[in-house]
Amino acid sequence: MSKPTFIDIEDASWMWGILITDKDRVSTTGICNFPSHMGSLNYGYASVGGWRRISPKLYNQIPESDVRKGWFLDDTGVSVNLPAAAQAYITKKGAPVYTQVKYGPMNDEWGSNNNATDVILMRVEEMYLIKAEAQAMNNDVSGGVNTLNSFVNTYRDPSYKCTATTGEAVQEAVWHQRRIEFWGEGLAYFDIMRLNKGVNRLGCGFPKLRYLTLLQVIRSKFTVSPTKRYNTIHCWKIIRWYLLQLRYLMKNKLIIKRIEYEIYQ
C-alpha cells in the first residue's frame, strides 16, 4: 500500500475483480479502459489533462502517519509513496496538486501504454469496515470501535484511535475511513445514498457558479423535500427541464456577464 498498486486480481486482499489481458478489446483500444481514465502514471485521458484529484478538504483530514496520504500528491505535487522515477514522470507531465497516484501502471512502467491492468470490484478491507459499523449499530459500540481501531492500526495508520461512544459516532468514523480507503473505487455514491448524506463541495477546489439566473428559475419551479425519494424517471424529467431552460436563457442572452467563477482553496 506504500506504492502505486491496485492493478492485480491476484492480490490477496481482492475478493472480486475483472481480469484483463492485453488481448482483450478493452486493452487494445488503448484508451477506452479504466486505467486510461484513472491512471495518472500510464498513458490515457488522465495523464493528458483529465487528472483525477482528491478534494483538498478530505486530503487534509488524512493524518501524516496514514500510509494512504501517499495515494495522492500533496500541495507541492509530491507523494512520499512514489519511487524517484515515478515522481519525475508525473512532475514532468505537469500533474496538479492532489492528483491521485493510488493506481499503478503495468509492471511499474511509468507512462506505459499497456493498460491491461485488472479492475477492483471488492476488497476484503471493506469487510472489516462493514463489521465495525454493524457491531456499533447493533448495540456493540466497544466491539465496533475495537474492530475499526484494529484494522486501521494494523494496515493503515498505527497512530489512529477511534474514541466514539455511540453507534452513530462509530458509523460516522467508519464512513470517513471508507471515503479514504475506497477513493476512486466507485463506492462513495452508495454510501451517500445509504446514509442519507448530503454532498457539499465547498472548499473542495471545484469551480463555483454565482449569479446564475437559471438557479433562480429552478428554485421557483421545484421544491425538493429532504424526506422524499425521487426515482430515476422523475429526476430525468427535472434534468431535461433544466436543460431546456438553460437553452432558452442562453438563446435569448439572458445569461450575460453574470457568471463568476471562484476557486475554493
Q: In the predicted model, what is the mean pLDDT of residues 219-235? A: 52
CB 40 within 8 A of CB 51: yes
CB 1 within 8 A of CB 79: no
Does 157 map to a domain? yes
Does 24 map to a domain? yes
Check whether residue 114 and residue 48 sit in a common domain: yes
Helix 125-137 × helix 167-181 angle, to 10°? 170
**pLDDT, greater one: 16 or 233:** 16
Task: Locate 217 and state its grid cell.
Answer: 428559475
What is the C-alpha separation between 78 and 81, in angstroms, rounded? 9
Check whether residue 62 and residue 130 sit in a common domain: no
Does 70 map to a domain? yes
Check whether residue 86 and residue 99 sit in a common domain: yes
Strand 14-18, strand 119-123: pairing: antiparallel
Does 22 map to a domain? yes
Which of 104, 120, 136 corresponds to the end of one domain? 120
pLDDT class for 214, splitting at 50, 70, 90? very low
Residue 8 makes CB contacts below 8 A (sequence gap 6+) with 14, 117, 118
Check whether residue 60 and residue 101 sit in a common domain: yes
Residue-level pLDDT at 235: 60
Check whether residue 29 and residue 113 sit in a common domain: yes
Check whether residue 160 and residue 247 sit in a common domain: no
Check whether residue 25 and residue 114 sit in a common domain: yes
Q: In the predicted model, what is the mean pLDDT of residues 196-216? A: 63
Residue labelled with grid coordinates 439566473 = 213
Which of 93, 120, 147 corresponds to the end of one domain? 120
Check whether residue 112 and residue 136 sit in a common domain: no
Between the two ends of the chain, the Cα-to-Cα distance in Å is: 28
Which of 83, 101, 120 corresponds to the end of one domain? 120
% of the chain exceeding 70 in pLDDT? 77
Q: In the predicted model, what is the mean pLDDT of residues 105-133? A: 95
Check whether residue 89 and residue 169 sit in a common domain: no
Is 188 in a helix, a strand, or coil? Answer: helix
Does 7 map to a domain? no
Q: Which amino acid is at 123?
A: R
Which of 5-19, 121-135, 251-265 comes out lowest in average pLDDT? 251-265
What is the C-alpha separation between 83 and 86, in angstroms, rounded? 5
Q: Give me the long-range contacts of 125-128 (CB less than 8 A, separation at least 24).
A: 125/13, 125/151, 125/155, 125/181, 125/182, 126/178, 126/181, 126/182, 126/187, 127/15
Check whether residue 172 and residue 215 sit in a common domain: no
Q: Is the pLDDT reported for residue 232 higher than 60?
A: no
Is 64 in a helix, a strand, or coil? Answer: coil
Does 254 map to a domain? yes
Residue labelled with grid coordinates 477546489 = 205
Does 199 map to a domain? no
pLDDT class for 121, splitting at 50, 70, 90? very high
Check whether residue 91 and residue 166 sit in a common domain: no
Q: Which of 32, 30, 34, 26 is nearest to 7 (CA)?
A: 34
Tens-digit pLDDT profile for residues 166-202: 999 999 999 999 999 999 999 999 999 999 888 877 7
Which of 7-11, 97-101, 138-142, 203-207 comes out lowest in average pLDDT? 203-207
Residue labelled with grid coordinates 481514465 = 37
Angle (CA) 125-77-152 rounded to 5° is 20
Number of domains in the chain: 3
Residue-level pLDDT at 188: 93
What is the C-alpha separation between 40 and 101, in angstroms, rounded? 6
Which residues on adjacent β-strands are paired with residue 18? 119
Q: Which of 53, 81, 73 is nearest to 183 (CA)?
A: 53
Task: Locate 212 and state its grid cell.
Answer: 446564475
What is the C-alpha separation between 111 and 2, in angstroms, rounded? 19
Range of the domain at 140: 124-194
Check whether residue 240 and residue 166 sit in a common domain: no
Q: In the predicted model, what is the mean pLDDT of residues 13-24? A: 95
Q: Which amino acid is at 140?
A: D
Q: What is the pTM of this model?
A: 0.78
Angle (CA) 144-123-137 rounded to 5° is 20
Strand 260-263, strand 207-210: pairing: antiparallel
Q: Which amino acid is at 181?
A: E
Does 141 map to a domain? yes
